[in-house]
Amino acid sequence: MIQKTENIWFDGQLVPWDEARVHVLTHTLHYGVGVFEGIRSYKCKDGTSALFRLEEHVERLFNSARTVEMEIPFTEEAICQAIVDTLKANKMDQGYIRPLAFIGDGAMGVHPGENSIRVIIATWPWGTYLGEDALQSGIRVRTSSFTRHHVNVMMTKAKVAGNYVNSVLAKREAKADGYDEALMLDVDGYVSEATGENIFLVKHGKLKTPPLGSILGGITRDSIITMARDMGYEVTEQRFTRDELYMADEAFFCGTAAEVTPIREVDRRTIGQGKAGPNTLLFQSEYFKIVRGENMKYAEWLYDYEI
């Protein structure tokens, strides 16, 4: 169960959590055209707090909206400020932030007509996303029977609510079969991404990740690419197959919620030593240093705030 906080920002105002309600004929509820983000804020060692790459997340929210022809009635700056206001109202010096823009009620049928675009921002505490000891021990993954979206079926680079039906189906299947997460292949059979994470493999000390084809352009993915290259690693954005993944020395998922989660098994094949690999653990610890303001080289990725 999600841990309730006091307030939700709704169309420009903070309202009590239980009063953030909508009508059952809300268009997005029926047809899935809504855009959202997942952002984390972290408490830093010096006692301050910082949102990780806030502006990039808000920019992606607006790009997602543009892609599905929704006009968000606020500026990007106003949404950034509203996120900080919501964290402050909820007295949260760290946690997860979920902005969502959706089409309200009014017209029905797939054409949303002039229905208003509404925006909420919810914040709540959220621990490790893929299981208690996922970050240390790594997770077990299965290739899904569900294919990731074709790029002309869904707008895969937009974070659109309806896209996630595919993720929910794959996740449920994986969990029911005793796995922690699903890996999806693209329509050509190449590795794409997981239900809410991007994927990297490590082979002979080099990193590989699928290119921006059918995948969501993850902000964590971008951070890992930048950070790994700065550390001297070779990183290629190139398609690979599931059997290349089976033969990898290490593999990991990354995302705002999942952070850097090692993969220890795929389709019953052990990856590397069957535990979190040394390079993966290094990226994980560097990532945590960056988000917690302990590596000032990446200070520009941090959006400081005080509660």
Work out whether the CA dihedral 96, 133, 215, 187 comes out positive or negative: negative
From 41, 256, 261, 279, residue interacting with ligand PMP (rule: CB under 6 A): 256
What x-and-dash track marks residues 33-52 binding ligand PMP by CB under 6 A?
Answer: -----x--------------
Sheet strands (E) in the chain: 7-10, 13-16, 34-36, 39-43, 49-52, 95-103, 117-124, 139-143, 181-185, 191-194, 198-203, 206-209, 235-237, 250-255, 259-266, 269-270, 302-305
Counting residues that bind ligand PMP (by CB under 6 A) gives 12
Q: Using only C-alpha atoms, what is the Rg of the chain?
A: 19
Report the 10 Å Cβ neighbour count for 290. 23
82 contributes a contact to ligand PMP by CB under 6 A: no
Catalytic, 289? Answer: no
259 contributes a contact to ligand PMP by CB under 6 A: no
98 contributes a contact to ligand PMP by CB under 6 A: no
Catalytic residue among 43, 88, 91, 159: 159
Query: Segment near ligand PMP (CB under 6 A), from 22-30, 73-81, 102-110, 211-219?
Result: 211-219
From 220, 261, 279, 280, residue interacting with ligand PMP (rule: CB under 6 A): 220
Report the 10 Å Cβ neighbour count for 152. 8
What x-and-dash track marks residues 170-199 binding ligand PMP by CB under 6 A?
Answer: -----------------------x--xxx-
Contacts of 31 (CB under 8 A, 6+ apart): 103, 110, 112, 162
Report the catalytic residues.
159
User: Which residues lie near ligand PMP (CB under 6 A)?
Assistant: 38, 193, 196-198, 216, 218-221, 255-256
